[in-house]
Amino acid sequence: MSLNFSSKKSLLAIALGLSLTVQGAENSVVVKHLANEQNIILLDSVKKFLLLPVQENAPEGKVNIIVNNEFQLEQNINIRLAREKVDYYVPLDLSAYQGKSISIDVTGMPASSLCWKEIKLSDMFDSSNRETYRPVYHHTPVYGWMNDPNGMFYKDGVYHLYFQYNPYGSMWGNMTWGHSTSTDLVHWTYEGTPIVPDAWGSIFSGSCVVDKDNTAGFGKNAVIAFYTSAKPSPWGDVQSQSMAYSLDNGKTFTKYEHNPILTSSERDFRDPKVFWYAPGKHWVMMLAVGQEMQIYSSGNLKEWKKKSSFGAMQGAHGGVWECPDLVELPVEGTKEKKWVLICNLNPGGPFGGSAAQYFVGSFDGKKFVNESPTQTKWLDWGKDNYATVTWSNAPAGRCIALGWMSNWQYANNVPTTQYRSTNTIARDLTLYRVGNELYLKSKPSPEIEKARVEKVDKSSFKVAGKYEIESLLRDNDGAYEIEMTIENAGASKMAFCLMNAKGEKVSMYYDVLRKQFAMDRSQSGAVDFSRDFPALTVAPVDNAEKIHLRLFVDRCSVEAFGENGRYAMTNLVFPSDTYNKMTFESDKKSFIVKSLKIYRLK
């Protein structure tokens, strides 16, 4: 059977009351259905985009462009094309073939599917925001799925952020590096998809370096990207490491002709993080392999030798280790520096699913030694800070980290559709000492303070029983920061809560005796999209008598930073209306809120 949606038939369809999209007379979309769910779309004189209708709960079909009998894409694009209903459209970029006649090969889609009627050629793709949960001051893709931050580097005043991206749907798949840039770590501009799947597979996580001394021979100051090529096979993904270089500051990349540069028979072999080890004058690559981190060394970024592995009997092993990083950080208040190995793992986090742990110790260019092997240390005490890695070449010796603000337990199901997932706010990392132990401090990067557009101050007040403030938060648009200092005056629990008129709330409290800070999102709004979403997350605190706390709220998230980042807690929330009321409650005696500032952030 062949369907022709040229203008004549569309008019007929309209006359019959059928909902068909009218194509311009000069364009036609002809669909031929072959045996075994194979289909060909014939496009005559194509426009910029083919708009493909997606139904998120449909199985994936496979799409490829054919010009002159040849496949144009090395890998099929997997798209959940609509079978019974359209959730949204994604654009297939045909600008390279504009005005030409081409074919699209679609396999795995029944002839009865709705998509055949809904596919459209267009010069426009409407990417204006349709999501009330879209954050104001966090990075998020305009449309499509995002997971890990990748390849972050800083150069000439610009922060570059690449990210695991699916441009063909708001669920994981078709892994590609999306690219955004910023000059202030808060406001981002989308720059396109500079690294797309190829013969070696889709493009998994990795890192970038600025090759200042041209050690690889691609040019002085070339930006070099390292990523995992993940090739689908009937027996599962095959993972190897590849590289690509950019001579235009990360805008476009050329893949190295001898990829892949590092192979293995291991199943989980991925997420290269590369950095320059100045004392040894060589490059280091950290790789996540099963449940260990492997350390490689190279002089020219192309040939790598394994030096050691780290992981056996160290830290948490509830799941696969992923996205490593190794950074040297100052210990606050001293001249000392220590190395910190960041190790993301999934599952096995303290509150279920994915989380980041870290190890503090020494590194000699070849081997990392953990100095406190008996303790598991968590980088964040919420459920939604994963795949955290740091910026390469950051200015002024800073170590700036960014995480993916989600959790593999429910990332594909959170209640947004135009896009899915955002990043955390950027955080500056340092170390601080308590007794014999060193811990990581994640402080909101100071750039966020420039996003403050309005401030309301409330002077000191005493909380004995219940206390409510509404006016300070009433006109907010769901994107604000609350900064407060609290002093205990005999309470055993100091509670406060962000709430909306519907009674949806995020409850937080300090348990003075247990020395804990806790956040409960079980009644925060939409929570029933996953049984793993409602949660109470708890952080140990050194001091629950005198408190400094910053809360960053941005439509779908609450990030808490206690004592300038000695503990951080990042949790997603999906309220049906913005939280515009704050309540305080003491248990037993009282506590004093010495200062409360609310900043609107933009």
* 257 contact partners, CB below 8 Å, separation of at least 6: none
**Rounded Cα–Cα distance for residues 192 and 180 (Å):** 8
CB-based contacts of 192, cutoff 8 Å, min separation 6? 178, 179, 251
Q: Which residue's CB is nearer to ligand FRU, number 323 or number 556?
A: 323
Residue among 460, 425, 461 nearest 444 (CA) = 425
DSSP 9: H
Question: What distance lies between CA 406 and its chain's CA centroid?
Answer: 7
The minimum distance between CB 312 and ligand FRU, in angstroms, equals 20
For residue 367, the minimal CB distance to ligand FRU (Å) is 23
Nearest to ligand FRU of 115, 175 (CB atom): 175
| Entry field: residues in the chain | 602
Q: Which is nearer to ligand FRU, 39 or 205 (CB)?
A: 205
Q: Please say whether the dihedral angle defined by the alpha carbons of residues 2, 5, 7 and 11, taken in this order, is positive or negative.
A: positive
CA distance linking residue 407 with residue 557, whole number of Å = 13
**And the tokens for 40?**
């060909």
Active site residue 148: yes
- Active-site residue identified among 105, 148, 268, 325: 148
**Rounded Cα–Cα distance for residues 373 and 74 (Å):** 45
Q: How far is the CB of 202 from ligand FRU (least distance, A)?
A: 8
Q: Whole-number minimum distance, CB 203 to ligand FRU, in Å?
A: 9
Taking the complex as a whole, the smallest distance from the CB of residue 535 to ligand FRU amounts, in Å, to 19
CA-CA distance, 479 to 186, in Å (whole number)?
A: 13
Considering beta carbons, is residue 322 or 325 the nearer one to ligand FRU? 322
- CB 17, min distance to ligand FRU, A: 44
Q: Which is nearer to ligand FRU, 271 or 504 (CB)?
A: 271
CB 327 within 8 A of CB 358: no
d(CA 266, CA 421): 29
d(CA 178, CA 180): 7
Q: Which positions touch ligand FRU (CB under 6 A)?
A: 147-148, 164, 175, 204-205, 228, 270-271, 322-323, 387
| Burial of 553 (C-beta count, 10 Å sphere; 0-12/13-18/19+) | buried
DSSP string, 498-538: EE-TTS-EEEEEEETTTTEEEEE-TTSS--TT-TTSS-EEE
Q: 46 or 320: whose CB is closer to ligand FRU?
A: 320
Residue 387 CB, shortest distance to ligand FRU, in Å, is 5
Residue whose CB is less far from ligand FRU, 65 or 323: 323
From the CA atom positions of the chain, what is the Rg in Å? Answer: 26
Cβ-based neighbours of 548, under 8 Å, separated by 6 or more: 483, 484, 485, 562, 563, 564
DSSP 11: H
Q: Catalytic residues, which ones?
A: 148
